[in-house]
Structure 1
Amino acid sequence: MLGDAAVKFQVGGLRMYRQKLARFSMIAGTAVVAALGWSALASSAVADDVIRFGAPLPLTGPLAPEGLKQQQGYDIWAEQANKAGGISVGGKKYKVEIVYADYQSNTPRAVQTSEQMITQDNINFLFGPFGSGAAKAASTVSEKYKVPTIAATASSSQVYDQGYKYLFGTFTPNDTLTTPLTQIIKAQAPDVKKVAILARNDLFPLAIAQEMEKSAKANGFEVVYFEKYAIGTLDHSATLSQMKSLGPQWIFITGYINDLLLVRKQMVDQQMKAPVMTMIAGPAYQEFIDAAGQSAENVTSASWWHPAEQYDGKDIFGSTSNFVKLFKEKYKSEPDYGQASAAVSGALFQIAIERAGSLDREKVRDELAKLDIVTFFGPVKFGSNGQINSLEPPVFQIQGAKPVVLFPQAIKQGDLKLGVN
């Protein structure tokens, strides 16, 4: 059941969670510069020997859990880079500074913040804001000023269809998640025929729901229901009741952590059950599993990375296992795909800058565009549109309060189980 644990996470627990994770944050719109791994005195003494990365994030508001995860990923990369002496540029070492700004889960503010970082905070390079919607909106700014930008959490093709040169993304397109998922269900649950889809009306959640609809139909499923819910919706009871009346055997719901916890609780209240239930993207986070409790069991999902991956990387972290080890030591928890993607975004900037031998934005942009390298996150090669096209994202299911990988075969940990409580 989804009860007190979820309430604790969504209300009081979120505050504690934020305090624990956000070592550097924004207050009243003023950016905090995080100079990791060295003293404030050293920072002021060698300010010219610094590379500044802007990181607009939703550190407050409904997307704060996701924003704080991205911050963790950037922090651990910057820490490792600075422990190694910094980024080497033409034989000289530069320390990493990250300028964080809280855009309060508001996309127009994300755009404004990104422009402020470029025009006022004198950043050299930019990390995109959280999610496809904010990343797409803010990319117009970085393109305008020709600032290389890596979006760590933007998968929707609509982000990369603008013909921009300076935007790169570490998530493969949405259909790379929905296609293997539907193929698994088709092969292992042949009696499942009817699918119901409920999507948050936001760029990424809606886009992946639409890809799910395409994948389902292509694999012979009948989509009996497809509906959107508004951002900030608190009562899904009427929608769920309508969905329940159609008797779907597979329920597919998109949104973010707080959305999916709320929907899952209201499903339990209505005693909604199905042989297959998929939620994207919350179940990839241990916080979702802890808060949902028993109602998380057997929920399937997919993501762009999993700590079970086994890559030998050429980046600052090296192997996947080393990244997981360092993350556990620092944060006392296993990393998820959002944290890993943020960390590899920093590592990719580092590789491109060192290969360029310069902080010239055009030269760094060119090095990013021609990257073809294995990292702890997996093989990285950007397509002509700037979106990564070299990964095989894992499909997993919550079993025994842990994500168990079902696909790909190389890192498979278990088999699909049917039925949710």
Structure 2
Amino acid sequence: MTTLPAFGRRSALGFAAAGLLAPLGAARGQQPTIRVGAPLPLTGPLAPEGIKQRNGYDFWAAAANARGGVDVAGTKHRVEIVYADYASNTPRAVQTAERLITQDRVNFLFSPFGSGAAKAASSVNERYGIPTIAATASSEQVYDQGYKFLFGTFTPNSTLTEPLAEIVTGANPQVRRVAVLARNDLFPLAIGQEMVASARKRNLQVVFDEKYAIGTMDHASAITQMRAQRPDWVFATGYTNDLILIRKQMADLGLRAPVVTMIAGPAYREFISATGRQAENITSAAWWHPAVRYQGQDLFGTTESFNQAWEQRFNAEPDYAEASAAAAGAILQMAVEAARTIEPAKVRDALAAMDATTFYGRVKFGPTGQITSLEPPVFQIQGGQPRVIFPQGIKQADLRFGVG
């Protein structure tokens, strides 16, 4: 009987189940395949975000395969993304992640969408020792569990709220009263709390700080309460469909403020299309913007070349979620090629040691696995387009006040 070496916390049964003893197809004389599991919310309220991630993963896989595949010690491996829809249900996301490992025999994982589902599923990939990249999880609570196999392409939430607060207060000292409305979910709550901290750090008065339930369709009560507090700055968090509703209902109920910030949603074409003129002057922040300029060492090369290729395929500019998903694939490819193997512990070590520039930016993971090397752009919707107002090196516009 063959004795299998132990890798991390992975059992011999889990090791065999994930198909890592040999690349798929190798025994049949075919091109070996690297299978990457991707549990996503392809239906349900988070479907817009899930579809964005799928587009990014597909874009990377197509680019890698067009070049013959991922080079593993001189042997090209074809990329296959194995998708599973968890229908925007976090407990199901956890089950789906385990099934991808134990039944679908994937070699690596991309995390489910968002901080909440990524955190919930991270215990699964840790238990099986599967290197996993989270393309849309920014909350530090995802990465503070002492796990070794999880890596994230979003910097912590404070890297968004701090520059926002600095820009707004620096441009208009009359902004004093802040209202915060957050979806009751890990990422929206966490970034709402960071906004409260950033406001109080600058001696701003937080006049409203409430949360709304997942699935809320009527925000009239919260908006009416906020309006009564006469805020100078409204800060709303949630996902695309949430924020479209909140913005429309703000307009219907006459809630206006010099500054309105929404995270995350305004970076997406869907938000701007759905809200039209009501999107004007809304501020936001994200982890990437097409205006950034990097000379990448990954298969996409420069940011410009990535943008051009994306626009040719999708007839639209990429947004940060799509770019992060494509970057997750490119980063995984770089780690595999550096490790010269698909053996999970060695790929994990290559990810932990990575310090490289990609089209998405410099990639260096901190001790918890969360990326520490990016400076997220702050932007404002002006003329129906997200225009960068920070950092200075890629600035496209100045901050405007007044959201009706």
Give the shorter-chain TM-score range.
over 0.9
Q: Work out whether 1:261 is the aligned partner of 2:248.
A: no
| CA RMSD, Structure 1 to Structure 2 (Å) | 1.2
Q: Work out whether 1:87 is the aligned partner of 2:43.
A: no
Alpha-carbon distance in structure 1 between the residues aligned to 2:286 and 2:42: 22
Alpha-carbon distance in structure 1 between the residues aligned to 2:93 and 2:27: 28
Partner of residue 203 from structure 2, selected from 220, 226, 240: 220
Matched with 2:283 is: 300
Verify the 8 A CA contact 2:31 2:76 in the aligned structure 1.
no
Q: Work out whether 1:251 is the aligned partner of 2:234.
A: yes
Matched with 2:371 is: 388
Matched with 1:157 is: 140
Alpha-carbon distance in structure 2 between the residues aligned to 1:333 and 1:219: 38
| 1:44–1:343 Cα change, 3 Å | farther
Shift of 1:347: 0.4
Q: Which runs of 5+ in 2 are unaligned?
A: 1-24
- The one-letter amino acid of 1:388's match is I
Superposed, which structure 2 residues align to 1:304-383 within 5 Å? 304-383=287-366
Matched with 1:33 is: none
Corresponding residue SS for 1:410: helix
Corresponding residue SS for 2:83: strand
- The one-letter amino acid of 1:255's match is G
Superposed, which structure 2 residues align to 1:150-229 within 5 Å? 150-229=133-212
Aligned residues: 380
Corresponding residue SS for 2:136: coil
Matched with 1:405 is: 388
- The one-letter amino acid of 2:334's match is I
- The one-letter amino acid of 1:178's match is T
| 1:275–1:44 Cα change, 3 Å | farther
Partner of residue 51 from structure 2, selected from 64, 68, 72: 68
Alpha-carbon distance in structure 2 between the residues aligned to 1:370 and 1:233: 43
Q: Which runs of 5+ in 1 are unaligned?
A: 1-41
Instruction: Give the fraction of aligned pairs with identical amino acids, expressed as a percent.
Output: 62
Shift of 1:162: 0.1
Alpha-carbon distance in structure 2 between the residues aligned to 1:103 and 1:48: 30
| 1:46–1:126 Cα change, 3 Å | farther
Alpha-carbon distance in structure 1 between the residues aligned to 2:367 and 2:328: 18
Matched with 2:21 is: none
Alpha-carbon distance in structure 2 between the residues aligned to 1:147 and 1:43: 21
Moved more, 236-245 or 175-184: 236-245
Alpha-carbon distance in structure 2 between the residues aligned to 1:341 and 1:221: 33
Alpha-carbon distance in structure 1 between the residues aligned to 2:266 and 2:378: 11
Matched with 2:18 is: none
Corresponding residue SS for 2:65: helix
Q: TM-score, normalised by structure 2?
A: 0.93
Alpha-carbon distance in structure 2 between the residues aligned to 1:238 and 1:287: 26
Shift of 1:220: 2.1
Matched with 1:54 is: 37
Verify the 8 A CA contact 2:31 2:78 in the aligned structure 1.
no
Matched with 1:106 is: 89
Alpha-carbon distance in structure 1 between the residues aligned to 2:254 and 2:29: 62
Verify the 8 A CA contact 2:296 2:358 in the aligned structure 1.
yes
Corresponding residue SS for 2:266: helix
Corresponding residue SS for 2:71: strand
Corresponding residue SS for 1:284: coil
- The one-letter amino acid of 2:36's match is F
Corresponding residue SS for 2:115: helix
What per-residue deviation string (whole Å, max 9, x for no partner) do you get for residues 367-416 of structure 1?
00000000000000000000000000000000000001000000000000
Alpha-carbon distance in structure 2 between the residues aligned to 1:150 and 1:65: 20
What per-residue deviation string (whole Å, max 9, x for no partner) do you get for residues 89-141 of structure 1?
11100000000010000001100000000000000000000000000000000
| 1:47–1:266 Cα change, 3 Å | farther
